[in-house]
Structure 1
Amino acid sequence: MTGRDYTYHPYTPGMKLPEGVFPPMEGYTHDALIVAAQRCVGSYLKAHSIDPVMIQKSLATLATSMREKFEREGVEYQVSSWYQKSYNDPAARARSVQR
């Protein structure tokens, strides 16, 4: 979770979370989301014959940028909470998950 000082606190089992906040789900952690993005971008760059060294540098920079933003926003907690929180209206839940 991101504290008031905007320092990211990675989840550890048993960690107390604010009410309504769920721990990260497997496959939707920051690392998993970054790896998925890197695979897509890496494939695109390879398909366009970009220099392999440039690809590696680009993917490293992408990971750094994404991790910084994800940690600042607590993305893995947001995704999990949006997905798992209860709704009276199933359509509202579907919109939340989509976002």
Structure 2
Amino acid sequence: MAEDEVLIEVDAVQAVYGDDCVVLETYPPHLHVHIKPRTADVSSQQFVEAVLTIRAGPQYPNEPPNINIIESKGLDEQRQKHLITGIRDKACELSSCLMLVALCEV
């Protein structure tokens, strides 16, 4: 897969998440994405949130990115593990496809 396609994907994540997406490296992608419920910015209804770190290697997307939660609110350890497992499973399912936005949506 061409590097420019991956760069377009990084732009797409930024477009979807705006200020909630911090790009540490564009290629291979390394992002921090602040995920929270879409409650039209009514923060009193945002009981759960997490910052995902998504770090892809040079083989991305043929090799799924490394995904972890680096910060969270309202998620106990068991829920965090469940969430990460679900995202990693999705990454394996989407292997060889561009998947950054899809993983954030999970």
- The TM-score with structure 1 as length reference comes to 0.34
- The TM-score with structure 2 as length reference comes to 0.32
Structure of larger gyration radius: 1
* Greater helix fraction, Structure 1 or Structure 2: 1
Larger RCO, structure (CA 8 Å, separation 6 or more)? 1
